[in-house]
Chain A
Amino acid sequence: MRPRLWSLIVKELLANWRDRRNRIILLISPMIQVLIFSFAATQEVKNVPLAVLDEDRSVLSRELISRFEASPQFSQVMRLEGVADIAPAIDSREAPAVLHIAQDFSRRLTAGQPVQVQLLLDGRRSNAAQIIQGYTVEIVDRLNAEFARLGSLRGPPSFVVARTWFNPNSDTLWSTVPGLFAVLTTSVGMMVSALSVARERELGSFEQLLVSPLTSLEILAGKAASALVIAVAETTIVMLIAMYVLVVPMEGSMLLLYGSMIVYLLSIIGIGLFISSLSSTQQQAVIGNFMFLAPAILLSGYATPVSNMPDWLQTLTLANPVRHFVVIAKGAFLKDLPIDVIATHLWPLALIAVVTLSAATWLFREKTG
C-alpha cells in the first residue's frame, strides 16, 4: 500500500483511540446499548391479564380456559358475565384482550363442525395485541391437536397450524439482538466516519492535511478504511456479546456475514463522509447523522415490519441500506440464509455503496477545491 495512505490510516486509528472521550464512547456505548436494548426493548409480553366471556359453560370450554390459566404468559384470567362487560374491560385497560367463547362451542365441536372462538384485542397496544394473538392461537391449536389425538372427537375439518419458525421457543431476545446488531453496526460506522472530517475542520488540522501531497481521494480512502476497521472491530465485540452473553445462536456462515457487513459498512461510511464533508463542526455532523439514522432505522424493518408499510414506502425502503442489512443480519444469526438470498440484498448494498461513496468524494472535492 502506498505509504501516504498507510500513514493516514494509522493516524486516524490513533486519533480515535487516544482521544479519551472518544475511546469511551466507542468502547462502552455499544456494549451498554446491546445489553440495555436486548433486555429493555424486548417485545415479549408476560404477565398480562386476560378476560374471558364463556357463554358455553361446558367441560370443553372450561378445559380451554384452564389452558390459558396455566400459561405463564397470562397472569390472571378474569371472568366476564355478559357481552356488555367486554367493552368496559378493554376500555378501562383492565385487560388487553378478551376471549369470547360462544354458546355453540361444545355443540359444534362434538358434532365435528369447525368452530370459532373470538379474540378481541386492544388495538391501542398493537404490539402486545399481536403477540397475545400469537399466544392464543398457539394454545388453541395445542388443544385442537390433543382433542384430535385423544380421538374423543372426530377431528375438526381443518385448523390453522401456526408455529413460530426459527425461534421455536418464541425467545424474543433472539429476534431483537440480530436486528440490534445491524443497528449498532450502522450507528458506529456512521459516527466514526461523520465525525472524521468535521473533527479535523473543528480542530484546525484540516488545512494542514489539505496542503499535504495526499489527494482528496486518498484522504477519503484513508478515512473510510479506518472507519471500516473501527466499525468491524466494534461489531465483532457486539457479536461476541450476542453469542456468548445473550446466547443467541449463530446459524449462518461467519464469512458471508462479514463479507456483507463490509459492503454494508462501505455504503454507510459513504453517507457518513458525505455528512462530514458538509459539516464544519462535529456538532453539525452529529445532527446530520441523526437526521439520517432516525428515518433510516424506522424504515429498516428493525422495529416495525416493512410489510406493514404502505406500498410506495416499501418501494422506497429498497434504497435504504439499513433495511437490507437487517435482513442479512437476522438471516445470518437465526437461519443459515442461503447465499442466493443474501445476494438479492447484497447487490443493492453494493450499488448504494458505490453511489454514497461517489457522492461523498464529489462533495468533498467540491468543498475543498
Chain B
Amino acid sequence: MSEALVRLDGVSKRFDATAAIAEMTTTIMGGGITGLAGPDGAGKTTLLRLILGLLKPDSGTLSVCGRDPISEASEVRDLVAYMPQRFGLYEDLTVLENLSLYADLRAVIGEDRRSAFDRLLTFTSLAPFAGRIAGALSGGMKQKLGLACALIRTPRLLLLDEPTAGVDPVSRRELWRMVRTLTSEGIGVVWSTAYLEEAERCERVLLMNDGRLVYEGTPSEITSRMAGRSFHVRNAGERRRAVLAAAAKMPGVIDGVIQGANVRIVLAAGATPPSAEDFKGLSLEVVPTPPRFEDAFVNLLGSATPAVSRLPTAADPATRSAGPVIEARELTRRYGSFTAADRISFAIGRGEIFGLLGPNGAGKSTTFKMLCGLLRPTSGEARVAGLDVAVQTSAARNRLGYMAQKFSLYGDLSVAQNLEFFAGVYGLTGAGRRRAVERVTDAFGLKRYLDTNAGTLPAGYKQRLALSCAVMHEPPVLFLDEPTSGVDPLTRREFWAHINALVHSGVTVMVTTHFLDEAEYCDRIALIYRGRVIATGSPDDLKASVRTPALSDPTLEDAFIALVEADDQKAVA
C-alpha cells in the first residue's frame, strides 16, 4: 500500500451523447488488488482504456506512474500491462508462439526471453501445453495464457478487464491465487469485475455505476455500515418464494434474495426487523446475519423496496404434478472420440427451478442445448412437456421459452416490432397476439419504450424485453442460459422476482449459470463435470455434503469446488 500508481482528477469521457465516465477523481494505489466493480456498461473498460492511453479523456487530468498516458505513451506501456476481456490471444498460434509474439512486441530477447518464458510457463502451469494451439485450450487455460502474455515484461501496474467473466469457479479460484502471488511481488493490480463477491476480496474497491464512482475505499468499511441490517428468514423451505414475495412488501425491507432454503433480507437504516409472526402461519425464524458487500451496493444504488413482479399469478401456488416436465434420459453427445455428455439423466417436475452447473467445457452447455433442441443427441432422449425434442421438434419448441446470456433480440427493431415478431413466430394471431403483447407490455413496464430500438434500451430494459419475448406465448417451460451475467444487482433481483412469479404459477425453469448467487434460487442443482452428473440436490444439500469441521459453513462455491476436486481424485484413484 505504498505509492499512488494512477491519479485521476475530474476525468470525463463521452461517447456520442452518453457519458461513459463522468467527472471521476480518484487514486489507485500500488501494492494490492484494487477491485473495479460494477455492472456491464458502468464504465469499467473505458476507465482501463483511459489509464492505458488507448482513449483520450475529454476533460480532466490523468497520470499513470507520474506520466501522461497519451504524450508519454511508450514509457507508460513499459510500466503497465493489460489483459483485455477477450484474451487478446491469437487462436491459431500455439501457446509458445503466442508468448513469442508478445515477447517480440515488447522487445524481450535473448536470455531475458528464455527466463521470462520459464518463469511464466511454470507460474501458469502451462508448460505441458506449450505446443498446443491456443484455440484448443479451455476457457480457464486461455485466461492463464492471456495473463502470461501480459506479464512478459514484469509491469508495475497490471490491468485485468473482467478476467473471470464466463470462467467457472475452479478456474476463478486459481486465477485469484496467481494474481495474489503477483501482488506479493509488488505489482499493483486493477481487477475489474461484475461479480460483487469478488470485489469484496480486494484490498480496495472502486464501485462504479453509470459512469460514476459511487464508492471508493475498503470493502469492509462500506460493508460494516450495513451491520445489523441483514437477516436470514430461516426454514422457509418449500415456501421460500412466497416468503420472499411477502417480505418484499413489508415496510423497511429494501432487499431480499433467496439463499437455499433461507430468504435473506436487508432493512433500511433504523427499520425494525420483521418477526416470525409477520409471516403468518409459517414456523419461521428471523435471525441476524453478517452483512456483505452486495448489500452495501444495493443500498448505494438507492433501492427503496425489493423488486416485485407485476406478472399476474395464480391465487394458489401451483401444485406439483407427478410427471416430469423436463426429462433427460441417458442423453449422450459425442464429437468423434470425445464424449461431451455421457448418459445424462434427470427429471424436473412442474414448478421447479433446476440449475445446471459445471466448469467450462464440462458438458453443461451441451446438455442444455440438447434439452432445448439446439443440438441433436447422439443417443438418449430429451423430453420437454411430454414431447421428444428431437422428434416433435416444432411442437416441443412451441412449449418452451428461451433466454440467452447475450442480448439476443433484434437491436434495429423497435420494442414493439420485437414483441410482434416473437408473438408471430409462436403462432399468435389477431386478438390473441394483441392480448399477449399487451400483457407483457404491462407486466414488464415496456409501454414508454415501445417505439425505441431494442439495441438502445438501458440494460435493465433489454433484460425485461428478452424475458417478455421468451414468455409471451406462456410456455410451461423456460430455459435460461446465464440470464443475468453482467447485469446490476437490482436488475438481477427484478429478473428473479419475475421468474419466481412464473414458477409460482407453475412454469418449470431450467437455468445454467456461473453465478453461484443465482444458483441459490434453484430448487435443485445438477453439477456436471466431464460429461457426467457428479452431484444432484438442493443448494443446501450440496453445501451440507461438503461440510467439514474445518469448513463449518461452506458456500455454494466451496461445494462446487470440493465436489469437482473430489471427482478428480476419484478419477486418479
Within 8 A of A (CB), among B380-425: 393-395, 397-398, 400, 402, 404, 406-413, 417, 420-425
A213 touching B395 in the complex, CB below 8 Å, given contacts A15-B410, A208-B408 = yes
Q: Mark A3-37, 1 if CB is under 8 A from B, else 0.
A: 11011101100110011000000000000000000
A14 touching B400 in the complex, CB below 8 Å, given contacts A3-B429, A210-B374, A215-B394 = no
Indicate whether B323 reaches chain A with its CB closer than 8 angstroms. no
Indicate whether B350 reaches chain A with its CB closer than 8 angstroms. no
Indicate whether B453 reaches chain A with its CB closer than 8 angstroms. yes
Residue among B374, B402, B424 making CB contact with A3, cutoff 8 Å: B424
- Verify A211–B413 contact, CB threshold 8 A: no
Residue among A3, A11, A15, A213 making CB contact with B397, cutoff 8 Å: A213
Q: Who on chain B is nearest to A6 by CB?
A: B424
Of B395, B410, B425, most buried by chain A (CB within 10 Å of CB) is B425
Indicate whether B372 reaches chain A with its CB closer than 8 angstroms. yes
A207 contacts which chain B residues (CB < 8 A)?
Answer: 374, 402, 404, 408
A18 contacts which chain B residues (CB < 8 A)?
Answer: 412-413, 453
Q: For the complex formed, measure the closest distance between the CB of B463 and the CB atoms of chain A, giving whole angstroms.
A: 14
Of A15, A211, A369, most buried by chain B (CB within 10 Å of CB) is A211
A7 contacts which chain B residues (CB < 8 A)?
Answer: 420-421, 423-425
Of B376, B394, B402, B412, most buried by chain A (CB within 10 Å of CB) is B412
Residue among A6, A211, A213 making CB contact with B374, cutoff 8 Å: A211
- Verify B402–A4 contact, CB threshold 8 A: no
Within 8 A of B (CB), among A161-215: 203-205, 207-215
- Verify A15–B413 contact, CB threshold 8 A: yes
> How long is the Cα–Cα vector from A11 to B416 in the complex, in angstroms?
12
- Verify B406–A213 contact, CB threshold 8 A: no
A6 contacts which chain B residues (CB < 8 A)?
Answer: 424
Within 8 A of A (CB), among B420-452: 420-429
Q: Who on chain A is nearest to B433 by CB?
A: A3
- Verify A10–B421 contact, CB threshold 8 A: yes
Within 8 A of B (CB), among A290-307: none
- Verify B408–A205 contact, CB threshold 8 A: yes
A210 contacts which chain B residues (CB < 8 A)?
Answer: 373-374
Q: Is the interface on chain A under 10, 10 to 19, 20 to 34, or 35 or more residues?
A: 20 to 34
A209 contacts which chain B residues (CB < 8 A)?
Answer: 425
- Verify B404–A215 contact, CB threshold 8 A: no
- Verify B409–A213 contact, CB threshold 8 A: no
- Verify B413–A208 contact, CB threshold 8 A: no
Indicate whether B479 reaches chain A with its CB closer than 8 angstroms. yes
Q: Who on chain A is nearest to B418 by CB?
A: A11
- Verify A211–B394 contact, CB threshold 8 A: no
A203 contacts which chain B residues (CB < 8 A)?
Answer: 408, 410-411
> How long is the Cα–Cα vector from A147 to B273 in the complex, in angstroms?
119
> How long is the Cα–Cα vector from A213 to B398 in the complex, in angstroms?
5
> How long is the Cα–Cα vector from A339 to B406 in the complex, in angstroms?
53
Q: For the complex formed, measure the closest distance between the CB of B347 and the CB atoms of chain A, giving whole angstroms.
A: 21
B406 contacts which chain A residues (CB < 8 A)?
Answer: 204
Q: Who on chain B is nearest to A210 by CB?
A: B374
Residue among B393, B412, B424 making CB contact with A19, cutoff 8 Å: B412
B428 contacts which chain A residues (CB < 8 A)?
Answer: 3
Q: For the complex formed, measure the closest distance between the CB of A20 and the CB atoms of chain B, giving whole angstroms.
A: 8
Q: For the complex formed, measure the closest distance between the CB of A214 and the CB atoms of chain B, giving whole angstroms.
A: 6
> How long is the Cα–Cα vector from A204 to B400 in the complex, in angstroms?
19
Q: Mark B289-329, 1 if CB is under 8 A from A, else 0.
A: 00000000000000000000000000000000000000000
Q: For the complex formed, measure the closest distance between the CB of B290 and the CB atoms of chain A, giving whole angstroms.
A: 39
Q: Mark A213-225, 1 if CB is under 8 A from B, else 0.
A: 1110000000000
> How long is the Cα–Cα vector from A8 to B410 in the complex, in angstroms?
12
- Verify B425–A8 contact, CB threshold 8 A: yes
- Verify B394–A213 contact, CB threshold 8 A: yes
- Verify B427–A213 contact, CB threshold 8 A: yes
> How long is the Cα–Cα vector from A62 to B376 in the complex, in angstroms?
84
Residue among B426, B453, B479 making CB contact with A212, cutoff 8 Å: B426
A208 touching B421 in the complex, CB below 8 Å, given contacts A11-B410, A213-B397 = no
- Verify B400–A211 contact, CB threshold 8 A: yes
- Verify A211–B421 contact, CB threshold 8 A: no
> How long is the Cα–Cα vector from A15 to B411 in the complex, in angstroms?
9
- Verify B376–A369 contact, CB threshold 8 A: yes
A contact set with B: CB distance below 8 Å: 3-4, 6-8, 10-11, 14-15, 18-19, 203-205, 207-215, 368-369
13 CB-based A-B contacts, threshold 8 Å: A7-B421, A7-B425, A10-B421, A11-B410, A18-B412, A203-B410, A203-B411, A204-B407, A207-B374, A208-B469, A213-B394, A368-B374, A369-B376
4 A-B pairs besides A11-B421, A204-B404 with CB distance below 8 A are A11-B410, A203-B408, A203-B410, A205-B408
CB-CB nearest 5 A-B residue pairs: A7-B424, A211-B402, A18-B412, A204-B406, A213-B398
